[in-house]
C-alpha cells in the first residue's frame, strides 16, 4: 500500500490535522509532513519510542497499536500498520476521535477496534482504553505505583524526579515509558531505595543521547546520596 499517498489524503480531509509522518523499521522516517512540530531527529525518536512501547505492551496485552498522547497544544496519534510501519498524526483537540478514526478507516480500508469515543488528553487514560489489559494486572500495578509515588513513600521524590527528567529527554512518550519501566522493575526486584539503580538502568535503555544518559545517572546518584 502507498502509505504516503494515504497520509496526504488523511491530512487533506480534515483541517484540524496539523501534520503527520510515517515510519518503518526498515527505512526509518518517511512521508514527513510535520517538520513544524519537531525536526527529523525528534520525530524519528518519537517513532522509535512508540514502537518500543508497543512491543512491551504486546507481551502482556492484546489489541495494542493505537495511542493518543498530548503533545504541546496538539494531540499526537500513533497507529501501528502492517509490516512494521507506523502512521503518526498531529491534530487539534477539537477534532472528534470518531471522525479521525472514520477518516483513517476510509483511507486505509481498515476497521478500527477502538471505542467510538476516546478521551485523548491524558496519556495514561488513553493507554488504558486502547490496550484493554487484564483488569487484575492493571489494578495491582496501578495500586503499587500509586503507593510508590505517595508522599509517604521514602522513594517518591526519587521516582518523580526520574520521571520528570525522563520527560525532558524523550518528550511526550515519557509517561508511558516510565510506567512500563517501573512495571518491569517491580517485576524483577523489590522496589526500594536499594534497588533504584536497577530502575535507572532500565530507564537508561530508553534514552538515546549519551549526555542525557550521563545526566540521568548523575541525578540518581545524587538522590541516593541525600539523607
- Residue 58: name the closest of 138, 153, 131 by CA: 131
Q: What is the pLDDT of residues 140-186, one digit of tens each?
A: 778 888 889 888 999 999 999 999 998 888 877 788 888 888 888 88
SS3 of 23, please? strand
Sequence-ordered list of residues with C-beta below 8 angstroms from that of 188, at least 6 positions apart, any chain: 198
Torsion, CA 116, CA 124, CA 20, CA 104, rounded to 10? -20
Q: What is the pLDDT of residues 85-97, one digit of tens each?
A: 999 999 998 988 8
Sequence-ordered list of residues with C-beta below 8 angstroms from that of 13, at least 6 positions apart, any chain: 103, 107
d(CA 26, CA 6): 19
The DSSP annotation for 51-101 comes to HHHHHHHHTT-SS--EEEEEETTEEEEEEEEGGGEEEEEEE-TTS-HHHHH
Q: What is the pLDDT of residues 180-196, one digit of tens each?
A: 888 888 888 888 889 99
How many beta carbons lie within 10 A of that of residue 210, not counting itself?
8
Confidence of residue 200 (pLDDT cuts 50, 70, 90): very high
Please report the domains of the chain, with CATH numbers, ordered by start residue: 3-131 (3.30.450.30), 135-225 (no CATH)
Q: What's the gap between Cα 84 and its chain centre?
A: 17
Angle, helices 174-186/196-204, rounded to nearest 10 degrees: 140
Q: What is the pLDDT of residues 39-49, one digit of tens each?
A: 888 888 888 88
d(CA 52, CA 133): 17
Whether the pLDDT of residue 112 is over 70: the answer is no
Q: In the 8-state DSSP scheme, what is residue 18?
A: E
d(CA 116, CA 183): 29
Predicted local confidence at residue 60, as pLDDT: 58
Whether the pLDDT of residue 132 is over 50: the answer is no
Sequence-ordered list of residues with C-beta below 8 angstroms from that of 117, at least 6 positions apart, any chain: 97, 98
- CB 92 within 8 Å of CB 194: no
Amino acid at each position: 500500500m502507498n502509505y504516503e499517498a494515504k497520509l496526504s489524503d488523511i491530512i487533506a480531509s480534515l483541517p484540524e490535522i496539523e501534520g503527520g509522518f510515517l515510519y518503518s523499521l526498515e527505512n526509518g522516517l518517511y512521508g514527513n509532513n510535520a517538520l513544524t512540530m519537531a525536526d527529523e531527529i525528534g520525530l524519528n525518536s518519537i517513532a522509535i519510542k512508540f514502537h518500543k512501547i508497543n512491543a512491551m505492551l504486546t507481551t502482556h496485552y492484546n489489541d495494542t497499536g493505537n495511542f493518543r498522547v498530548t503533545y504541546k497544544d496538539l494531540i499526537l496519534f500513533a497507529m501501528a500498520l502492517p509490516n512494521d510501519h507506523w502512521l503518526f498524526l498531529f491534530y487539534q483537540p477539537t477534532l472528534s476521535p470518531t471522525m479521525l478514526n472514520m477518516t483513517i478507516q476510509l483511507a486505509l480500508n481498515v476497521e478500527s477496534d477502538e471505542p467510538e469515543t476516546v478521551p485523548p488528553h491524558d496519556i495514561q487514560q488513553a493507554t488504558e482504553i486502547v490496550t484493554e489489559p487484564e483488569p487484575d494486572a492493571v489494578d495491582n500495578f496501578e495500586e503499587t505505583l500509586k503507593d510508590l509515588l505517595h508522599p509517604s513513600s521514602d522513594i517518591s521524590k526519587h521516582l518523580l524526579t526520574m520521571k520528570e527528567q525522563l520527560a525532558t529527554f524523550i518528550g511526550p512518550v515519557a509517561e508511558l515509558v516510565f510506567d512500563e519501566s517501573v512495571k518491569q522493575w517491580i517485576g524483577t526486584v523489590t522496589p526500594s531505595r536499594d534497588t533504584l539503580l536497577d530502575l535507572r538502568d532500565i530507564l537508561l535503555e530508553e534514552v538515546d543521547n549519551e549526555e542525557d544518559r550521563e545526566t540521568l545517572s548523575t541525578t540518581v546518584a545524587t538522590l541516593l546520596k541525600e539523607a
